[in-house]
Amino acid sequence: MSWLNRVRNALPFVARKETTDHLWHKCKGCGQMIFNKEWEENLHVCPQCDHHGRIGPKERFQQLFDDGSVEILPNPKVAEDPLKFRDSKRYVDRLKAARTDTGEQDAYQNAYGTIAGRGCVIGVQNFAFMGGSMGQFVGEAFIAGVEAAIARGVPYIVFTASGGARMQEGILSLMQMPRTTVAIEMLHDAGLPYLVVLTDPTSGGVMAAYAMLGDVQIAEPKATLAFTGRRVIESTIREKLPEDFQTSEYYRDHGLIDRVTHRRDLPAELAQLIEFLGRKEAA
């Protein structure tokens, strides 16, 4: 034992000073320190620069649904680690770590509730869980969300956030692209709307599947939306891309999506769309 440790151990125990780290949030947009309480009350949006922080299912449901109306829907059961995959770590260990970090089973959660009194099922993809990657669980959960919406005769709304397909499940994760597409067709056959809200970031196989198949495509401001990253495209076409390339606003200005909507305006806008698209008898 070094002399320093000996001296330290001999000293009377002094409680470590309460850290103030958990009281503050540093904005990823402008670097401003914001009181966590203020950050949460402002829907995880920076009051200085309007940067929209990444949020998971819990926060999303709380922000959107009417108080007391939320019913968390059951998660699907899927075979775990079907390929016995291992890179630098075993896939099962990565899953375990992500579960401990997030308290969620996987990267997707459905809930039923009402927005301004109008019922809908909402599915939220969670970027904090292995980059929101789409494996069998996410595919099954998406389909379960659609089936719940059909059973209740309400629209299905998805909030996407994903790096793409989950490589640890190989072809089985890619198979979720056609499966979710068929599920959306089932929703349409039932005469129900499918709405997409793209959030930061949405890319890869998710962007190439259910993220771009909405009857109405909304995005949160300044979200990064892409199939392939900027670097890959620039090196392929050997051209410099515009600064705002692959952002919500660029997509809206070039006709790929319908709206860019601030987080605080989402409940009112979604309620209006549900009202508008759900009125079958009026037609």
Residue of 63, 79, 215, 77 lying closest to 149 (CA atoms)? 215
Closest contact distance (angstroms) between CB of 139 and Zn ion is: 35
- 33, 48, 117, 275: which one binds Zn ion (CB under 5 A): 48
Range in contact with Zn ion (rule: CB under 5 A) among 41-49, 54-62, 188-196, 247-255 = 41-49
Q: Which residues of 248-267 are buried (b: 16+ CB within 10 A; e: fewer)?
A: bebbbeeeebbebbebeebe
46 binds Zn ion (CB under 5 A): yes
Q: Which residues of 57-76 are buried (b: 16+ CB within 10 A; e: fewer)?
A: bbebbeebbeeeebeebebb
Is the torsion defined by CA of 100, 102, 107, 111 positive or negative? positive
Closest contact distance (angstroms) between CB of 257 and Zn ion is: 24
Range in contact with Zn ion (rule: CB under 5 A) among 12-20, 49-57, 105-113, 236-244 = 49-57
Closest contact distance (angstroms) between CB of 45 and Zn ion is: 9
Closest contact distance (angstroms) between CB of 39 and Zn ion is: 10
Considering beta carbons, is residue 27 or 64 the nearer one to Zn ion? Answer: 27
Which residue type does 51 have? H
Query: Strand locations in the chain, DSSP E?
Result: 24-26, 33-35, 71-72, 108-115, 118-125, 156-162, 194-202, 216-219, 259-260
Q: Report residue 7: phi and psi, to 5°.
A: -65, -45
Range in contact with Zn ion (rule: CB under 5 A) among 42-50, 71-79, 102-110, 242-250 = 42-50
Considering beta carbons, is residue 50 or 104 the nearer one to Zn ion? Answer: 50
119 binds Zn ion (CB under 5 A): no
- 51, 52, 60, 166: which one binds Zn ion (CB under 5 A): 51
Closest contact distance (angstroms) between CB of 44 and Zn ion is: 11
- 23, 49, 72, 151: which one binds Zn ion (CB under 5 A): 49
Considering beta carbons, is residue 82 or 221 the nearer one to Zn ion? Answer: 221
Beta carbons within 10 angstroms of residue 270's beta carbon: 23
DSSP 124: E
- CA separation (Å) from 263 to 121, 139, 213? 18, 26, 21
Closest contact distance (angstroms) between CB of 177 and Zn ion is: 35
Q: How many residues interact with Zn ion (rule CB under 5 A)?
A: 8
- 8, 23, 30, 116: which one binds Zn ion (CB under 5 A): 30
Closest contact distance (angstroms) between CB of 34 and Zn ion is: 8
Range in contact with Zn ion (rule: CB under 5 A) among 48-56, 110-118, 176-184, 265-273 = 48-56
Residue of 265, 266, 232 lying closest to 246 (CA atoms)? 232
27 binds Zn ion (CB under 5 A): yes
Q: Residue 167 class from Cβ within 10 Å (0-12 exposed, 13-18 middle, 19+ buried)? A: middle
Closest contact distance (angstroms) between CB of 260 and Zn ion is: 18
The enclosing H or E element of 179 equals helix 176-189
29 binds Zn ion (CB under 5 A): yes
Q: Which residues bind Zn ion (CB under 5 A)?
A: 27, 29-30, 32, 46, 48-49, 51
